[in-house]
Amino acid sequence: MANLFCVKDKVVIITGGAGILGRGIAGHLAEEGAKIVILDRAAEVGEQIVAGIKAKGGEASFFLTDVLNKEVLEQNKKDILAKYGRIDALLNAAGGNMAGATIGPDSTIFDLNIDAFRKVVDLNLFGTVLPTMVFADVMANQKEGAIVNFSSESALRPLTRVVGYGAAKAAISNLTKYLAGELAIKFGEG
């Protein structure tokens, strides 16, 4: 029986692939034979990660992106399809907490910086929705693919301080379950 977890020759996009989790996942999947596409706004680090994967005999590319800019993501999609011809997986790893969107022990909800709250929701939630809208249609059309979203323990129960991050990640968890139904019902069980 074929290995269900085989990723050999699969084209795997990792947004935030220059980050701590993204680069670790990229390295492992490349060792397993996947073709890694790192999308990040950090070009220098992204290129270094690609060079590291290639030095070990793997296949990887870096494309500069902004997960909040649909036009840039659409151009990324054209470039990825021109190079690899398909997309098999999307890992939405771009995200994270932002200092201003927290409530420290010496402040309260009434001190919350609403702009910072909005920014952390933008990056984590919209930074997952937009790449999914742009890249998932390729997988839907080929009736096969995988999308991995990055939520957090703070989505399950609120942790101290990280009020904006927790709200954004709770939304990601909800969106992920929504998309599982949406894509399976409308595009098949692959």
Ligand X SMILES: NC(=O)c1ccc[n+]([C@@H]2O[C@H](COP(=O)([O-])OP(=O)(O)OC[C@H]3O[C@@H](n4cnc5c(N)ncnc54)[C@H](O)[C@@H]3O)[C@@H](O)[C@H]2O)c1
Q: Which residues are catalytic?
A: 165
What is the Cα 79 distance to its own chain's centre? Answer: 18
Q: Are 183 and 172 in contact (CB under 8 A)?
A: no
CA distance 7 to 33: 6
CA distance 2 to 44: 38
DSSP state for residue 68 in the 8-state scheme: T
Which residue among 47, 66, 79, 144 contacts ligand X (CB under 6 A)? Answer: 66
Stretch that binds ligand X, among 5-13, 19-27, 102-110, 129-137 (CB under 6 A): 19-27
Q: Are 87 and 144 in contact (CB under 8 A)?
A: no
Residue 65 touching ligand X (CB under 6 A): yes
Closest approach of ligand X to the CB of residue 168, in Å:
8
- Take residue 149 and report the two structure tokens written for it: 């979203």
Which residue among 11, 13, 14, 19 contacts ligand X (CB under 6 A)? Answer: 19
Closest approach of ligand X to the CB of residue 189, in Å:
27
CA distance 125 to 145: 21
Stretch that binds ligand X, among 30-38, 65-73, 75-83, 111-119 (CB under 6 A): 65-73
Residue 22 touching ligand X (CB under 6 A): yes
Residue 21 touching ligand X (CB under 6 A): yes
Q: Are 23 and 50 in contact (CB under 8 A)?
A: no
Closest approach of ligand X to the CB of residue 4, in Å:
24
Mapped onto helix, strand or coil, the DSSP state of residue 66 is coil
Stretch that binds ligand X, among 30-38, 54-62, 87-95, 140-148 (CB under 6 A): 87-95
Q: Contact residues for ligand X (CB under 6 A)?
A: 16, 18-22, 40-42, 65-68, 93-96, 123-124, 127, 150, 152
